[in-house]
Amino acid sequence: MSRFIIVSNRLPITVKSENGVPMLSDSAGGLATALKGPHSKSDSLWIGWPGDISRIEKDRIHELEGKLSEKRFSPVYLSSSEVNKYYEGFSNGVIWPLYHYLVDKVQRSAWADWKAYHEVNQKFADIIASRSSGSDMIWIHDYQLSLLPGLLRKLLPNSKIGFFLHIPFPSSEVFRILPWREEILEGMLGSDLIGFHTYSYLRHFKRAVAKILGSDEDENSEGICINGRNISLGVFPIGIDVERFSSLARKDEVQNEIEGIRHENPDHKILLGVDRLDYTKGLIRRLMSFERLLEREPELRGKVKLIQVVVPSRTKVDSYEHLKKEMDELVGRINSTYGSIKSLPVHYLYRGISQEHLSALYCAADVMLVTPVRDGMNLVAKEFVASRNDENGVLILSEFAGAADELAEALIVNPYDVDRLALFMKKAILMSENEKTSRMKRLRERVFNYDAFHWTSAFVNALEKVAMPLANQPLVISSPDDFEKLFEKIKRVPEIHLFLDYDGTLVPFAETPEIAVPDKELLEIISALSVHHGIDLHLVSGRTRDTLEKWFGHFSLSLHAEHGFFSKMSPESEWIQNHHENPAWKAMLEKLLDEYTLETPGSMVERKSGGVAWHYRMSDPEMGVKQARNIRKRVDIDFQGSKVEMFNGEKVLEFRAKGVNKGAVILKTLQKNPGSSTCIAIGDDRTDEDMFAVLPPGSIGIHVGKKNTRAAFRFADIACTRLFLRKLSEL
């Protein structure tokens, strides 16, 4: 029976030991809040690390597991070394700063922790697989588990897998700094649906996949098609439990504390900042801007106060210790310069505070400062808005926070521009009551309509729709047993007509066509097949006559060049032209493609007797796709009515005369050789689908790779193709 499985780095609880007895308390984080409803209302399982349990007595671990089981939590136990390397090291020392564009903060020493990062992701995968029915819906969260979707896809191919990234996905130019960029992208692409907070993060991800893995980047597509799989992408900005914050602000103890804060500061406009200690939060620039405000606006001195709450975080990391020291010094400088006996301009709290006290601060503040230099979403901004039942207060929000895409009625600022941020502080302080109310009403409408529960249901509903298993998929042939079953069928026929594609089937694609020459192993396989008395061997390729002649002309086989435009049936025979050339359209088309080649660095034109091809494998992925799309539009218009056929290959546009295709080669061969022979056709791309389409009953079509195909069988890769052909030559 399938169920819903939630996977996160940490379980939404804190484990404590009281006299050696394990005790659980709920966490109050954004993810825990957002998923509390779905987890409690369905037969779900939440898998994650329970935190440090070293203080729990060993003979009490079973009690801990019993309490976790009651809450439908399944623990992934991590050693202190794993936590240090996987979490503190690679996750927070490499991925966190890089994804936030702070390349100078990337810890080179943590690069050595990649192995631990991979091993912990594999540990998660193994535990999930052991707890899964094999057809569950699995929702994986955040950057610590980027590899997990791909690892799970191998273990649970029929499960619906969703992944949500809670931090920014950076520009492809920044992401490419990572040595393990391919592995991380391939890990995320094991999902059926990948969610982001904003469209810009989604666009950066698509661009990275196109640039690094070579997928076609189609700006009109809502997802990615790669290796025969369609991965959906979506924008799902996370919300908060708005009713909780709104209700908390109405409590008597909170209202009393609000009055106390205002009574202590009767003549001050209060600016508020609430942040975890982190270099992404823009804390230094915020303090510098406040200092600039006091410097330039002397009339505001003694009338404004900045309350800055900083929650300690990663206190043992050097960069965080340095940030704390820099903040202490800057706060001291501002207070010593602009303070007085009666008041200090910066009220600095370096500690965690209760939810009630936080709510009171939200409600008492005149201006909320949320000015990170980069942030995936930032829920503090939404918490402030939800708390303002009085529809008052001003939100100053960094344009580099994901929340800025939603909360347009805030004062949107560039936190790097210290002077302008100071001006916005002044604007917020002096804003009219009508404008404050107007802005806050619209902000609250947005925050209340798109809360945490809307976020959860939107993602889950999207995952249910896109992650349906595909029907009628080819049988994958990969194991020795699979080969034997196939060979049992082949052994019963007196002769085999074997049709082989070349590029992508027998050899990997190369940057330019002339590089993909046959190696020694392939030549040995072709030689063995060509002399086999029961095999009629045909090589059917888009390559030119001269190339096929040079590489394979000395073997006893039939060569078919340019997708069957030319054929040579034996080493002694001449090349036969199977179709008429049309020099009129060909010359015009070559001229058009030459123009686009000049405009598209890395592209090239391949001229053939019966057609022409435009290759863009070496061009910029985005530009190559765009130019290919423009070429298709031009051809549709300029060559309408011409006897030219156009189709997409692997980073190539092929143009040929209508009626020229690989399927015609098979039909012609069968006309000359009627009888009880069996056809085997092996290929990897669109041109080979023409062969599979005309195979007679009882034949065997084999697609190489993961693209959609009408073939009944599938090989995983070229190595599998070669193994099959070698075994076939030995029958």
Catalytic residue ranges: 501
The DSSP 8-state label assigned to residue 158 in this structure reads T
DSSP 181-214: HHHHHHHHTTSSEEEESSHHHHHHHHHHIIIII-
- 3-state SS, 211-222, equals HHHCCCCCCCCC
The DSSP 8-state label assigned to residue 441 in this structure reads H
DSSP 480-540: HHHHHHHHHHHHTSS-EEEEE--BTTTB---SSGGG----HHHHHHHHHHHT-TTEEEEEE
Q: Evaluate whether 371 touches 421 at the Cβ level (below 8 Å).
A: yes
Which pairs count as long-range contacts for 204-210, CB under 8 Å and 24+ apart, including other chains? Answer: 204/168, 204/169, 204/170, 204/171, 204/172, 204/175, 205/169, 205/233, 206/233, 207/171, 207/172, 207/621, 207/622, 208/169, 208/172, 208/175, 208/176, 208/181, 209/185, 210/172, 210/621, 210/622, 210/625
d(CA 489, CA 475): 15
d(CA 82, CA 123): 11
Q: Evaluate whether 47 touches 128 at the Cβ level (below 8 Å).
A: yes
Rg (CA), the chain: 32
b (16+ CB within 10 A) / e for 192-230: bbbbbbbeebbbbbbbbbbbbbebbbbeeeebbebeebe
